[in-house]
Chain A
Amino acid sequence: MKLTWHIFLKDLRQVRGLVALWVALIMVGFVILALVSSVAWPFSALRFNALIIVLLYIEVFVGILLTAAIIQGDPLAGTRSFWITRPISGGRLLGAKSLGLMGVIYLVPVLAGLPWWLAFGFGPEGLMHAAQQTLQVSLIATLFALPLAVLTEDADRFVRWALTVGIGLIVLLVLLNATRGGLGTVDSVSVGLWRTRMFLREWGLIAAVAGVVLHQFLTRRTGRSTAWTVASAGVILAAYLWWPYDLSSWWPPKEPPHRVAAEAAAIDIRWREGKWQPAVGAILRGQAADEFVLVGDLRGVPAGCGVVVERVTLTTADGRELPTTTMPARTAWLYPDGRRENLTEYYDINARRFWLQKTIGGVLGLAATDGPAPALEIALRLTGGAKKPVGAPAVRADVRFALVRCAVDAELPLRSGARAALRDFAVNISASEMDRDGRALVSWVERRPAEGGRARRDAIGSYRWIKPIDSYCLIDRRHQMLLNPQGGLGNESVFNGVCLLQFEMVQSVAEGAQGDKGDGIENMRLVKVAYENVGTFNRMFNGPSSP
């Protein structure tokens, strides 16, 4: 241990310049956050967000350099390394390098963030989440840099290979985007399968990197380690794209199965053909012969619960599957009171308390917490030149949906310049502006537990503003507030354990109320809604008896 520590101290001395830069970057981030959380900070929120994103990229870049510098202080590839002919075993060197990485790349950012988080009154759980978020930057840097650092002999080769791999990854992403709609696209698979693939991708990557690093430290057989790296990357990519088995049931269920099944049985889903309703601004297409609408009746769904329709498969009477594409979120619509209105484009706050949106894995419909439950409709469009079959029942729908339980997790007043804390959830409004068109731009720094990784994105997708007129108010009760869903989900970035959200709210000022901006955002409230997936089910529906 003494010698391991001795090597660690040597590494620390060697990379002290980069460590100083690393710490400085982290501290700069906190200073910016501190400035931004003050009311008087004149920065525009968007500029600030861009600054934070640039800073994050720089942090990842420096993290990559730091990882490489620590490892290549004693290169594992090649035959010219100093340490190989000295009484230093691969295991001991691995111990020292692990100490270096853990200490510098992982511990330093957490220690630097600790005072900030404590000042914000984070509890133990909040601290854990903040640390997790912060360490994502470190994890990205080390996962990228480690295999390259252990397989290359010097900095020149490392940089060359890092650029090659980086460009290769970008090309791969572009290709996947072009051919499959991107890595995050999960329209064609269930949430369970998607989560399984996520699990395989993330843990497969960690296991592969750990395997390569261990193998290289203990054997220094660079050829074999390289082959292992390439093979692992191929297997991980293949598993991510094509893994067929849903293993999510292996994780312990959160709800007693019988209860979930009973709730699922109460959901009545009918379906019918529909007419395409274009998004606002789109060219009116009128009747479309190649579209179907599935109508979900959520009356049986307990209040506060909902369903996520993950996949709908249309088959003809002779069993032939019709190629379809599920509509994207912005083309979803629902009929709260018989009016056809594209509510995902503009959310009518006078409507009942429900909303419809696309989440990771499907289209979400939520039951109202009061009043009658709305219908959930999902549009499907035939693709690949398929024609709508005629005859009754011409088409059968196999619907896969998940039952979700929703709860308001936190609720707090949102005031310009105010800081509120509720459990581990707090908001600082850094700036608020009201422009001539009545657009309110509000940005804030939010601390909240992060679910981590992909799940976190999912949860962010589930956060939503809600403004029932009697309970919450976005800007002013006298104004009809409309929320732009794009802005509603916000530009989000995580920095040093602090989640930054920017919301853009569009205010549609009621007629005759021009110039009456009232007290602006004084009456706004922020509501955090947490969704929990409690089960996934399949249901078959016959199509309507007549087209």
Chain B
Amino acid sequence: MNPIEIRQLTRRYGRLEAVHELSLDVPAGSVCALLGPNGAGKTTTLKVLLNLLPPTRGEARMLGVDSRKLSPRELQQIGYVSESQQQPDWMTVRQFLDYCRPFYPTWDPALEKTLLARFELPPDRKLKHLSRGMRVKAILLSVLAFRPKVLVLDEPFSGLDPVVREDVTSGLLETAQAGDWTVLLASHDIEEVERLADRVALLDTGRVWLDETVESLLKRFRRVEVDLQEGPAQTNALPGTWLKFERAGNRVTFVDSRYDREATEPACRARFPEAAVTARPMTLREIYIALARSGRKSGEAAA
């Protein structure tokens, strides 16, 4: 049993279908990032998982329990941080932590103290008087301190400056070292995702069209550059795994989503006989942009 299982999940808002038959498993101990453009259905999926919204069809399960039946017992092991969630803003940071603490039997006061110092949070300042970054840190602290088994983060880095983002990411990484948890993260911030996630799921128009480990993605995606050196070039009937194919003068570039030196270079030479071919690794951000730009169909083919 995976801590997070989503089966054929559909969620409608009136006529609008925000999520369409989405299926996703997040194995125990992994950090999975949901990536996708605005309106892809990431937040809706997370809200259904947390029982903030009921599914229209299908089901979402957390820790083996249907999300609609999540009880305090499960919620004691689930942490949720969302940019849009209301907080008791009238409380000071200390009052906020004091309020949260009794709900969690696994609350770790030592970790709370450590993170309070690490995040440099002013204990006596009200949440509503905190900057956005400080606020996120306070909420994250209230979630990390009970060492959740499952952590769901919805755009935690949105609107944060680089320093705060670094603090938050470091805090997450440090806490992750101490416990075995499963994280589902929706974010546009791919650099941070790359540091945190070991798995990504790409969403578009409510559908998952890629679900893979980061390691595998980084391994199979390469940016290929071909110097034609005035030789012949055949640019018709290109393989479906070649994305973002561009030609500028004597230079051709594309992203190979199934890079294999033994296969890619011969394929290049077949089309560009006298060309020099070089392939370089890509970042997750580059891969995401290549997939997003190439459109969903070719992206699915590439996947």
Contacts and interface: CB of A to CB of B under 8 A. Distances in A.
Interface of A: 2-3, 6, 10, 13-14, 73, 75, 79-82, 84-89, 92, 221
A87 B88 contact: no
Interface string B44-87: 00010011111000000000000000011101101010101111
Contacts, number: 50
Contacts of A80: 82, 84-86
B72 A89 contact: yes
B52 A84 contact: yes
Contacts of A3: 102-103
B87 A87 contact: no
A79 B53 contact: yes
Nearest to B52: A79
A85 B85 contact: yes
Given A84-B52, A87-B76, A6 B102 contact: yes
A249 B82 CA distance: 59
A82 B71 contact: no
Nearest to B47: A79
B100 interface: yes
A14 B90 contact: yes
20 contacts: A6-B99, A10-B99, A13-B95, A14-B90, A75-B86, A79-B47, A80-B82, A81-B86, A82-B85, A82-B86, A84-B51, A84-B52, A85-B52, A86-B75, A86-B100, A87-B76, A88-B75, A89-B71, A92-B72, A221-B54
Given A14-B90, A81-B86, A88 B72 contact: yes
A87 B86 contact: no
Nearest to A6: B102
A89 B71 CA distance: 7
Nearest to B81: A85
Contacts of B103: 3, 86-88
B254 interface: no
A153 to B, nearest CB: 9
A85 B78 contact: yes
A89 B47 CA distance: 17
Given A14-B90, A75-B86, A80-B84, A85 B99 contact: no
Nearest to A7: B99
Nearest to A73: B88
B209 interface: no
Given A2-B102, A6-B99, A79-B52, A87 B84 contact: no
Contacts of B73: 87
A13 B54 CA distance: 32
Nearest to A15: B90
Contacts of B95: 13
B37 to A, nearest CB: 21
B75 A85 contact: yes
